[in-house]
């Protein structure tokens, strides 16, 4: 199989890893050449490819251009299924994501908001395993505040993911009329959802 080129220049995190993940899962190429334009993408893509069974090297070609070379022995269709795919989640069971803040992590608020945007944009990679997202406390602002987070939530809802937004929290923050995605819910629904989920992710 000829080398597969994946041009990830201009893609913000997690775009480069997501693009490479899709190529690896759909085409299983034996060799890749990935182009990226920032050091973080070099690290993230290289780590992903190594955990996916590739031997990886990288070279800086220009001021803002890195070339990541990845290769592994060609495998047949039956063998390809056994190759470890780090970002290929199981589709078994129900995964619930519980979000209680509008930012991810502690520290700079602007960085935390960006990380939350990236987190929500990456959730589709869970595939059919992603069942429900529950927004509580400050997390309900994500369902009412225009921006990348809201766009990602709308896309997830359109794809069939259930989104529950705490009504008490919306009322507290005076956002009941501004909710733009999901269903207003109550604590009984939240507790029941947590009990029904096979896995809970809390960023």
Domain count, the chain: 2
Identify whether 15 is part of a domain. Answer: yes
Q: What tens digit of pLDDT does each residue of 97-109 get?
A: 999 999 999 899 9
Range of the domain at 10: 4-80
Is-above-0.75 flag for pTM? no
13 and 41 inside one domain: yes
Q: What is the CATH number of the domain that holds 188?
A: 3.40.1260.10
62 and 117 inside one domain: no
Q: What is the CATH number of the domain that holds 13?
A: 3.30.110.40
36 and 101 inside one domain: no
Structure confidence at residue 142 (pLDDT): 97
pLDDT > 90 fraction of the chain, expressed in percent and rounded = 65
Query: Under a CB-based contact definition with an 8 Å cutoff, are residues 55 and 71 in contact?
Result: yes
Structure confidence at residue 102 (pLDDT): 95
Q: What tens digit of pLDDT does each residue of 80-126 get?
A: 433 444 444 444 589 999 999 999 998 999 999 999 999 999 999 99
Identify whether 116 is part of a domain. Answer: yes
Q: What tens digit of pLDDT does each residue of 116-155 get?
A: 999 999 999 999 999 999 999 999 999 998 999 999 999 9
Identify whether 89 is part of a domain. Answer: no
Report the chain's mean pLDDT, rounded to a whole number.
88
Identify whether 88 is part of a domain. Answer: no
Place of tokens 């992903």: 48
Query: Under a CB-based contact definition with an 8 Å cutoff, are residues 141 and 105 in contact?
Result: no
């Amino acid at each position: 199989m000829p080398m597969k080129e994946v041009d990830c220049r201009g893609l913000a995190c997690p775009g480069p890893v997501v693009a490479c993940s899709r190529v690896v899962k759909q085409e299983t190429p034996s060799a890749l050449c990935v182009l990226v334009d920032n050091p973080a993408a070099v690290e993230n893509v290289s780590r992903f490819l190594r955990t996916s069974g590739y031997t990886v090297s990288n070279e800086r070609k220009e001021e803002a251009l890195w070339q990541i070379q990845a290769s592994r022995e060609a495998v047949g269709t039956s063998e390809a299924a056994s190759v470890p795919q780090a970002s290929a989640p199981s589709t078994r069971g129900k995964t619930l994501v519980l979000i209680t803040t509008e930012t991810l992590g502690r520290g700079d608020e602007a960085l935390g908001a960006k990380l939350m945007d990236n987190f929500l944009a990456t959730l589709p990679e869970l595939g059919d395993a992603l069942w429900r997202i529950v927004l509580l406390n400050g997390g309900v602002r994500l369902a009412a505040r225009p921006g990348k987070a809201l766009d990602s939530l709308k896309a997830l809802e359109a794809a069939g993911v259930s989104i529950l937004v705490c009504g008490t929290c919306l009322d507290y923050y005076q956002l009941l009329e501004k909710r733009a995605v999901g269903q207003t819910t109550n604590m009984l629904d939240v507790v029941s959802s947590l009990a029904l989920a096979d896995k809970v992710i809390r960023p």
